[in-house]
Structure 1
């Protein structure tokens, strides 16, 4: 799998309540998107990224990190071939991301994603 971005998914109770810490204090001034249950904030140069998550809208569990790849289909097949637990099957989400969740051998759940565009 070719990975081009990995970002933490931080659990928060309320995105709006948490937002000012990450934007004002840490300086992550760009709100890349906000779906109400997940929002991504980045630094002006795009080098620092964090996602705040209250509860994943379409998965049975929350993921610890999001891993962006250029070929999610191949990553899904590889994860299955290796016998890793698929927590959420491969699907295209309403917000334009094709993704699946896989559990690493240490128990960490990862969101493996590819933007549809």
Structure 2
């Protein structure tokens, strides 16, 4: 049995969301959906196997949510982000209490994404 978890993160401004998720994090826009013109946007962004749903819909997620993401390239991702000109987020690479390194990127809607080196199970 295989599973994939896709967090739904609440957003309030489409351009700010795209600036953060697409331009800063380097994710791709997979698709966008609205029930009708002028209705809230629901979209999917991804980078490799990491997938997020971003939603303007009331009740879809809570602002200030926290998502934990394991990656085998935490140092590489941190270096990529460190080189970007994005003035609203300046994460620091830290030693994780559980071992390895991690950093937290906070989106414009106070959602926190913790990127951590793969945990040894």
TM-score, with length taken from structure 1: 0.39
TM-score, with length taken from structure 2: 0.38
Higher strand fraction (1 or 2): 1
